[in-house]
Structures are given as structure tokens and as C-alpha cells.
Amino acid sequence: MGEPMTDQNEKPARRVLVVDTATSAVVTGVALVSAAGTVTTLAERIVADQRRHAEVLTTLMRDGLSEAGVAGTDLDAVVVGTGPGPFTGLRVGMATGTAYADALGIPAYGVCTLDAIDAAQPVGEPGPRLVLTDARRREVYWAVYDAGRRIAGPDVNAPDALVGELAGTELVTAVGETRFTERFGFVGADLVTPTVASLASIAAEQVLAARPAEPLAPLYLRRPDAVELKDQKRKSLLPAAPND
């Protein structure tokens, strides 16, 4: 393709590949970031299949680029959701996005997935908004936002423990699956994810400035399941204490 579209100041817009696998869904697509920071979604794929992130991601990326009419060599950056998220799923998106950027010689910018979920919501009533995602092991990842600014988190807790921790916060709403938001008195949804536009919008300033990319830092917030299981097995092999 030719040069990216330009705004009234004749500054080129930036084409961005977006990838996020921190939730139960794979989110990927292509966005156009104008010189003014406005984000337009050229293609978007959101598929809920947390057990097949690695299998479906590259296919969805290819389909998104094709729909947008953008070749890999036309891209200016890759934006990757860095979680928090379960170890295996999150690692798939981060590794794939980083490898794609490296292969093309373009920067990859990391975005907190919870920030992007908040940014995807309507502005709504002023006040603290809780964003929740499934952390498995009967826990949730969470953060609290006010007017688009994160004021608490991200962290991981059991839902009931989080209710106690946020007891003094007058939440205006909670965003997440209903099984989690109902603990706080709010109706949620069956699936909550960031969008291509919300992920790209958070990284827009970096993308437009073409800032040098730094190594992406995943927000695991806890050790991966494999490590936990290994520790449990090690403990089971230790001799019992006298009082056990």
C-alpha cells in the first residue's frame, strides 16, 4: 500500500497491529491512529476460546490484516496487552506480538489490559469504577478507575476479600462478568474484553512519537500454575513435622 492517510497538518497516521490474550478471549486487529490521536478500527477479531489462544491467534491476525487491506510491511507498530492475565494465555499474546514486531523491525508497546477495558467503556456517571477479569483459582484481577485514571490496582484477590478491601470505596459501577460484579451489587456481562480501539488509544502517544520500545513486562501478579504445582509436589515429598 502507499503512504498512510494524513490529517490537515499532513502528518502521517500510523497503522497499528493490536494483540491481547490476557482475558478468556483473543482480541486482535488493526487500528489507524491519526496525528491528532484519534483511533479508527480497520479490523477487529474477538474470539472467546481461552484453551486455544496459541492456535487461533496467528490466523486471526492474518485475517485482520487482510480485512484492513494492510500488509505487515505497512505497519508502524504493534500494541500488546500485558495483562494482568493467567500465565499461559498472556504469554501467547506477548510472545507473538513481540516476535511479529521484531521480524518487521517496528516497536511493540505494552498496555495494561484492565486500563484498556476501562477505556472501552462509556464515560458514564462520575466516580470510581471497578474493572474485574477472571484470574482463575477463584480469584479476580482488578483495578479501580476514576475519569479514565487508575486509582487502585492492578492486583489479584479472591472476590470476597476484594469486597472487604473496597468496602470504603463508593463505586458507581463494576465492569466484569456478572458472577464477579454481583458481589458488588452490579450487573455485569457474559464476556468482558478490551477492544482494538481501546488498546490502541492508550498507546497512541507512544505510537505517534515513534518512541523506542522497551522490553514488554507481563503483569502476572502471581507465579504461574506450573510453579505452584511443582511447589506443592515438593512439599508432599518432605517428611511430616512431629505435630502433623
Residues present in the chain in total: 244
pLDDT score at 223: 60
Would you say 108 and 96 are in contact if contact means Cβ atoms under 8 Å apart? no
Give CA–CA dist 212/206, Å, rounded. Answer: 9
What three-state secondary structure class fits 106? coil
Please list the residue range(s) of the chain that carry CATH number 3.30.420.40.
14-115+193-231
The predicted-structure confidence for 90-143, as pLDDT tens digits, reads as follows 999 999 999 999 999 999 999 999 999 999 999 888 999 999 999 999 999 999
The span from the CA of 167 to the CA of 164, in Å, is: 5
Q: What is the pLDDT of residue 241?
A: 41
Q: What is the CATH number of domain 14-115+193-231?
A: 3.30.420.40
Fold of 123-184: Nucleotidyltransferase; domain 5 (3.30.420)
Q: Is the pLDDT of residue 234 over 90?
A: no
pLDDT in tens, 64-82: 999 999 999 999 999 999 9
Chain centroid offset of residue 38 CA: 20
Check residue 4 and give its pLDDT.
Answer: 58
Comma-separated ranges of CATH 3.30.420.200 domains in the chain:
123-184
State yes or no: pLDDT of 229 exceeds 90.
no
Q: Give the mean pLDDT of 37-63.
A: 90
